[in-house]
Structure 1
Amino acid sequence: MDQNGAQPTEGCATDEAQSGTTSRMSRQQIFTLISVASVNFSSMICYSILGPFFPYEAKKKGASQTVIGLIFGCYALCNLMGSLILGKYIVQIGAKFMLISGLFVSSGCTILFGLLDKVPGTTNFIVLCFIIRSIDAVGFAAGVTSSFALSAKVFPNNIATVLGSLEIFSGLGLILGPPFGGLLYQSFGYEIPFIVLGCFLFLMVPFNMYMLPNFDATPSKDSFIRLITRPKVTLICFVIFTLSSGLGFLDATLSIFATEKFKLSPGYVGLLLLGVSLPYCLSSPLLGVVSDKFPSVRKWLMVLGGFATAIGFFLLGPTPIFHIQSQLWLSIFMLTLVGFSLGMTGIPTFPEILNCALENGFDDGLSTLGLVSGMFGAVWSIGMFFGPTFGGFMTQTLSFEWAAAIEGAIGLLASVLLGVYFLIEGVQRNRSSRGTGGETPEERAPLLGQSSTNSPEI
């Protein structure tokens, strides 16, 4: 057992492999990567499949735009609660068991969701949508929270690089889900897309039972409250909120906007959503490497990415005050900008929060990784609830163009606040360096994976 209380499965890894410093990955690292990649891909393809056709199908069942937004939003709300609870108790539950059970629950819910078109009556349809999506959200929270924590545990010195590389599989899920779901929906109807993907997700259960190593760890007394009350963590969480809010907004509103404005079929709407997922998928590995190689650049990647996301939403409609005619090529270009900027902003957030936690005396172990993963998932879920709910309401009340502009304004505010904080932090460090012979607090701060008990509070 190592100093963090983590004990890998016998024969899985040496101490050198655990450190992540060797050029050749250990068996434990390879198996963990394969397992987490399968979870990322399976979860995201099942999540993204709804975008091209479910809002249209729900509208045929009598659901309003606001209710459709709430159906998307309830998933995020339950994911929020699940992430907080499961992230806190990941050590007691067991990371491997949490991941596998999450996959099992999500597979069953995906299949059941595909049978909802047989439900008679608007009220029954809406109620069952809420129930199944809520349970599915808890399963999703279990899988993603444990996968984030295990990735950071096995690769402590290359977190951004590994997470960025794994986002290829998340991006593939986002890329394949909309067109795959849209084409299956056009060819076979509502049920088949969910049944196919639900069965695929179920096959991931025995696969991960074999591939994923076991981990033991010691519980920590640290809490979410202590973590999120750090000013830097709070502002980064606001940025994460704007990212997920924007994606949730697009999920609930873009398909109807594109169908009505550009007369696109569900299959082409699925292809339109590639404008977000493809650039995110392709840019994430490179952005992860940059974040690990140049840690000082992470904060400005988050700020600049937030500004770019805001511009993308302002011109997506575009906003009426610009007096620019809505055109399909412009919408595709702005979706591409949003997708790239999401990677620029999102990839550095996890290592930055984790680094801040270690600098403030949190235990360097699986328990802290669970807290950071759970908080990341919870904040992401808040945005995924707010985005479709508020976006659906604003689209119904005003228009898609104005709703997208409001979404962009929220992202712009988060970027400005975070940028101001980093500027103030830089001034304080310069003053401190003049009083300590030129050595800045950042230079004295421990690297990820090292002890940080005596580090200054940021």
Structure 2
Amino acid sequence: MDPNGVQQTDNSAPGEVSPGATRRMSRQQILTLISMASVNFSSMICYSILGPFFPNEAKKKGASQTVIGLIFGCYALCNLMGSLILGKYIVQIGAKFMLISGLFVSAGCTVLFGLLDKVPGTVNFIVLCFIIRSIDAVGFAAAMTSSFAITAKIFPNNIATVLGSLEIFTGLGLILGPPLGGLLYQSFGYEIPFIILGCFLSLMVPFNMYMLPNFDATPTKDSFVRLFTRPKIILICFVIFTLSSGLGFLDATLSIFATEKFGLAPGYVGLLLLGVSLPYCLSSPLLGVASDKFPAVRKWLMVVGGLAAAFGFCLLGPTPILHIQGQLWLLILMLTIIGFSLGMTGIPTFPEILICAYENGFEEGLSTLGLVSGLFGAVWSIGMFFGPTFGGFMTQTLNFEWAAAIEGGIGFIASFLLGAYFIFEGARRKRSSRVVGRESPEESSPLLG
């Protein structure tokens, strides 16, 4: 869209700025920003509402702890498949239609999930949980994949700044979901939290139908396979995996550890998670601005942030080999470091993958944006599945202290490899520039002169 809201085609390069362009956002950009913020907030609050009370309700229905874990885990797997498929065919489906359809599906699934306590029989309850949760994951993948692509399309010159600002609403959804869901559940029962949030999410459908423009684009022959053959993209995806894996690990293990180690009540355990989400929400906009204003620093933000997160996980327990006594203040401090480090590492990843794709011959347009968005969502989902599963197993086999250290070790390896790649890439470019500089005038002059 141009500053006046006129529809753009896919032929315009994302990095081009017209001579008369100003730095003020157009009306269409403001409306798009409001739309994407509403999508992030409403989707995340519906995603996080289950935590405080659904496991207990499922136990009453006869579901085992393993089955309850699989109900949560199937969401990540279906989100993975949905992100890959929808990211590939975003042009054929249409970015606006995909986002609105995803919101509609998620709204319906949220309401249906609130009616599951009326289902008779354990088997029927479990089967319907898997079906509704899986469909909801596909709807969520459609909304978030198209949201990333639309944001990058409308704001091509400051992607990290806008994504960082939108993470405030993502964090708010994750923060408000559990306490709001628990309060509504305690006051009105099982059905009301899902019905209220499902209706709220359904209101986003006509809102975004009015707000968002249509996007013309032509499909390309590029694929995820070609995108994933670049070493830089592979290493960045490894870092993204460690981010989501770490968050999933904390979701599955932190509450039990804090309760057993420090004797905290469930309400205070919930406040501990604010130590991760609040620093992330507050720092993301600033890190996004820094990432766009200083592109050369962007790659080192990922490396330093990943190393800091690894350090935080190693001292979260802390690691027994360090012989440091575990303290509540140390746990809170490390959670704060991890939350801030997640912003440092996560915000620059999307624009870095996108730039790498353009440098390697991918066409600039909605098709490539869909591929990058789908890849990001898929890798994030893999980490969200691996983190709770592997973390729960390691905690049960060893203990929380060693499991957190292993999680931090994985993050350290990813950040170290990415940093080594950047150093090697910089040295190679310096050697190439020196070879070009030593080229003799006779070699560089035209034959006919």
Q: TM-score, normalised by structure 2?
A: 0.89
Alignment of 1:133-282 (within 5 A): 133-282=133-282
Instruction: Name the structure 2 match of 1:349.
Output: 349
**Match for residue 322 of structure 1?**
322
* Contact 2:5–2:28 (Cα < 8 Å) also in 1: no
Whether contact under 8 Å (1:37, 1:166) holds in the other structure is yes
Cα RMSD (Å) of the superposition?
2.7
State the one-letter code of the partner of 1:378: A
CA deviation profile, 1:3-60 (whole Å, cap 9, x unmatched) = xxx8999746898999565222122211211111111111111122233444455456
| 1:25-40 correspondence to structure 2 within 5 Å | 25-40=25-40
AA paired with 2:340? F
Q: Which residue of 2 aligns with 1:429?
A: 429
Q: Hey, what does 1:411 align to over in structure 2?
A: 411
Which residue is 1:89 aligned to? 89
Q: 1:132 to 1:393 in 2, by over 3 A?
A: farther
Give the whole-Å Cα distance in 2 for the aligned partners of 1:198 and 1:389.
28
Partner of 1:309: 309
Instruction: Say how many residue pairs are matched.
Output: 434
8 Å contact 2:102–2:141 — kept in the other structure?
Answer: yes
CA distance in 2, matches of 1:375, 1:8: 30
Q: Deviations over 1:307-355 (max 9, x none)?
A: 1111222222333333444443332222211111111000000000000
Quick one: distance in 2 between partners of 1:312 and 1:402? 13
Paired letter, 1:331: L
Q: Where do 1:24-63 residues align within 5 Å?
A: 24-55=24-55, 57-58=57-58, 63=63
The structure whose Rg is larger is: 2
1-side partners of 2:112 and 2:129: how far apart? 10
Report the counterpart of residue 79 of structure 1 in structure 2: 79
Q: Which shifted more, 281-290 or 41-50? A: 41-50
Does the CA contact (< 8 Å) of 2:2 and 2:8 recur in 1? no
User: Which stretch of the first structure deviates more once superposed, 206-215 or 106-115?
Assistant: 106-115
What SS class does the counterpart of residue 221 from structure 2 fall into?
Answer: coil
For residue 348 of structure 2, what is the amino acid of its counterpart?
P
The AA in structure 1 aligned to 2:96 is K
Q: Distance in 1 between matches of 2:313 and 2:70?
A: 21
1:3 is aligned to: none
Please tell me whether the aligned partners of residues 90 and 146 of structure 2 are also in contact (alpha carbons under 8 angstroms). Answer: yes
User: What is the distance in 2 between the residues matched to 1:388 and 1:54?
Assistant: 17
Task: For residue 264 of structure 1, report the CA deviation from its aligned partner.
Answer: 4.0
Deviation of 1:136 (Å) = 0.9
Separation of aligned partners in 2, 1:114 and 1:258: 30
Q: Measure how far apart 1:185 and its partner are.
A: 3.4
Distance 1:273 1:379, change over 3 A: same
1:150 is aligned with what amino acid?
I
TM-score (normalizing by structure 1): 0.87
CA shift digits 1:290-316 (9 cap, x unpaired)? 111111111111111111111222222
2: CA distance, partners of 1:304 / 1:186: 42
- Give the stretch that moved more between structures: 153-162 or 386-395: 386-395
Q: Which residue of 1 aligns with 2:444?
A: none
Classify the secondary structure of the residue corresponding to 1:216.
coil
Give the Cα–Cα distance (whole angstroms) in 1 for the partners of residues 314 and 195 of structure 2: 37
Tell me if the contact between 1:102 and 1:139 (Cα under 8 Å) persists in the aligned partners: yes
Structure 1 residues 91, 310: CA separation in 2 closer, same or farther (over 3 Å shift)? same
The corresponding residue for 1:370 is 370
Moved more, 138-147 or 110-119: 110-119
Residues 91 and 366 of structure 1 are in contact (CA less than 8 Å); yes or no, is this contact kept in structure 2?
yes
CA–CA distance in structure 2, aligned partners of residues 215 and 369 of structure 1: 12
Change in 2 beyond 3 A, CA 1:230/1:356:
same
The answer on whether the counterparts of 1:42 and 1:201 sit within 8 Å (CA) in structure 2 is yes
Q: Deviations over 1:194-252 (max 9, x none)?
A: 22222211111111111111111111111111011100000000000111111122223
1:163 and 1:322 mapped to 2: Cα distance?
38
| Cα pair distance change 1:316/1:152, threshold 3 Å | same
CA distance in 1, matches of 2:321, 2:400: 14
Tell me whether 421-430 or 324-333 shows the greater mean CA deviation. Answer: 324-333
Question: In the aligned structure 2, how far is the partner of 1:159 from the partner of 1:146?
Answer: 14
Greater Cα offset, 93-102 or 119-128 = 119-128
Whole-angstrom CA distance in 1 between matches of 2:241 and 2:95: 25
Instruction: Give the Å deviation of 1:129.
Output: 2.8
**How far apart are the structure 1 equivalents of 2:67 and 2:258?**
19
Unmatched runs of 5 consecutive residues or more in structure 2: 440-449
Question: Does the 8 Å contact 1:70/1:385 carry over to 2?
Answer: no
Amino acid at match of 1:330: L
- Alpha-carbon contact 1:244-1:387 (below 8 Å) kept: yes
Q: Which one is further off, 256-265 or 422-431?
A: 256-265
Q: Cα–Cα, structure 1 residues 225 and 339, in superposed 2: closer, same or farther, change >3 Å?
A: same
Distance 1:115 1:410, change over 3 A: farther
